């Protein structure tokens, strides 16, 4: 069984913990790090070499969409957006897909207790599927 290495990027420490714990509960997924902003994420991408990145939209210093736009041409990596702004058909979702994200999962906004389990099941499946996507077409060979 292949293990998918994931880096979780979210500005909320609570959300990073919830996502890390939920993803690590899947025997096919290994969380290799967590980052609270794009700058720390860049460091961890280079040192930990994750297979997939989960990425929030709203973050300090550089939002997730700006980071994704910079990341993909320089270091293509399957990205699953995880945000309250990335529901089906949402502008942020469409923009993220345009910039190279392969999937999006919406954080539950109501009924947190019931919605969290379903969201984590969905996220685990999408992370595993994302790990199989070839994103090399995004590379433009500039140094990162």
| Interval 2-6 mean pLDDT | 95
**17/68 Cα distance (integer angstroms):** 22
| pLDDT on residue 139 | 73
116-123: Cβ within 8 A, 24+ apart: 116/18, 116/22, 120/19, 120/22, 120/23, 120/25, 123/19, 123/22, 123/23, 123/54, 123/80, 123/82
Q: Is the pLDDT of residue 40 over 70?
A: yes
Structure tokens at 110: 């109501």
pLDDT for position 88: 63
Give the lowest-confidence range in 9-18, 75-84, 132-141.
132-141
How do residues 73-120 score in pLDDT, each as one tens digit? Answer: 999 999 999 987 666 667 888 899 999 999 999 887 765 666 788 889
136: left (phi over 0), alpha (psi -120 to 50) or beta: alpha
Environment class of residue 78 by beta-carbon count within 10 Å: exposed (0-12), middle (13-18) or buried (19+)?
buried
Residue 81's pLDDT is 95
Give backbone dihedrals phi and psi of 75, rounded to 5 degrees, phi first: -150, 75
For the chain, which domains are there? Answer: 4-134 (3.40.50.2300)
pTM for this model (two decimals): 0.90
Distance CA 53, CA 143 (A): 20
């Amino acid at each position: 069984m292949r293990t998918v290495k994931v880096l979780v990027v979210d500005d909320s420490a609570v959300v990073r913990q919830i996502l890390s714990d939920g993803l690590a509960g899947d025997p096919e997924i290994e969380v290799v790090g967590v980052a609270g902003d794009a700058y720390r994420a860049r460091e961890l991408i280079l040192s930990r070499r994750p297979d997939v990145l989960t990425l929030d939209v709203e973050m300090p210093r550089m939002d997730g969409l700006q980071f994704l736009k910079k990341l993909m041409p320089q270091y293509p990596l399957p990205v699953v957006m995880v945000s309250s702004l990335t529901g089906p058909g949402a502008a942020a979702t469409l923009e993220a897909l345009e910039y190279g994200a392969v999937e999006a999962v919406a954080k539950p906004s109501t009924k947190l207790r019931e919605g969290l389990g379903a969201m984590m099941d969905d996220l685990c499946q999408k992370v595993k599927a994302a790990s199989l996507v070839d994103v090399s077409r995004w590379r433009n060979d500039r140094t990162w």
